[in-house]
Amino acid sequence: MLIAIRIPLILIWVIFSTTCGIVVSIFRPFNPKNIKVTTDLLKYGRFILGIKLILRHPEIADQNRPCVFVSNHQDNLDIFPGAFCLPERTVSIGKRNILWIPFFGIYYWLSGNILINRKNKRSAFETMDVAAKTIKEKNISVWIMPEGTRSKGRGLLPFKKGPFITAIKADVPIVPYAWSNYVKLINLNKWDAGTILMEILPPVSTKGLTVNDATELKDRVHAMMKDAIARLDAEVATMYRE
């Protein structure tokens, strides 16, 4: 019953938050500061959903910019933990079909995020080149979910190389965000729907690397995040037993 109240309320909140972002973006289109207007509102959606968010080591994000942030991608609810911990002057790379999502798609484009056509490999790699150039010229960071799709409770999926090629070409570190798996644990029918633990891991340098090192870099970051997620999952499990 509670979920039937929460879903309409959270949709209204998302529409309100993105509409505010659209209005601001009309006056300063494609400015990376626009994103914070919406995320600063969206992060309060956690109270509507009854979700507790805990972020550890935020100082790592502050000390290592510009960079390429990477995080695991589980569900549409990712926008709320993402909004909660999005650093200043950070844009994301998303699929081009995001444009068709009412309100959110227009906001996503106008606020300066980068759209990628994953079906066209040449276009996708060209987008990564644009992202690398943007990082260097505008001194902004880029947030990418390297799984490329939502895991839906299947654990951490294999990574695509694009984000790591971008970091190498921009000569900036990779800063991983690990989020505990929540898809099978969050219960929106409870007042306390659940907890998501988020931890920023130590930065991974790309100094001296070439695009030929992208696979090794990808695998190294994947292993780091997989271990961290398993540790966070174990900690969350103890919370549910208490």
pLDDT digits (tens, 9 = 90+) for 51-89: 999 999 999 998 888 999 999 999 989 999 999 999 888
Q: What is the CATH number of the domain that holds 28?
A: 3.40.1130.10
Please state the pTM of the whole predicted model: 0.90
**Looking up tokens 């880029």, which residue turns up?**
142
Domains identified in the chain, total number: 1
- Percentage of the chain modeled with pLDDT above 90: 61
Amino acid at the residue 198: M
- The number of beta carbons lying within 10 Å of the beta carbon of residue 52 is 14
Give the integer Cα–Cα distance in Å for 145 and 159: 9
Identity at 143, one-letter amino acid code: W
How far is residue 32's CA from residue 92's CA, in Å, rounded to a whole number?
Answer: 10
Q: What is the residue-wise DSSP string for 168-232?
A: HHHT--EEEEEE---TTT--TTSSS-EEEEEEEPPPB--TT--GGGHHHHHHHHHHHHHHHHHHH
Q: Assess whether the previous peptide bond of 66 is cis (omega < 30° from 0).
A: yes
Reference 176, options 144, 138, 209; nearest CA is 144
* CA dist., res. 66 & res. 46, Å (int): 28
User: Helix (H, G, I), strand (E, B), or coil: what is residue 57?
Assistant: coil
Which pLDDT value is given to residue 148? 82
C-alpha distance from residue 8 to each of 2, 14, 21, 46, 125 (Å): 11, 10, 20, 14, 38
Convert the pLDDT of each residue in 80-136 to its tens digit.
Answer: 999 999 988 898 887 778 888 877 788 888 888 888 776 656 666 677 787 888 888
Structural domain containing residue 64 = 2-241
Token duo for residue 222 = 């994947």
Give the model confidence (pLDDT) of 164-215 as tens digits. 999 999 999 999 999 999 998 899 999 999 999 999 999 999 999 999 999 9
> Parallel, antiparallel, or unpaired for β 174-179 and 194-200?
antiparallel
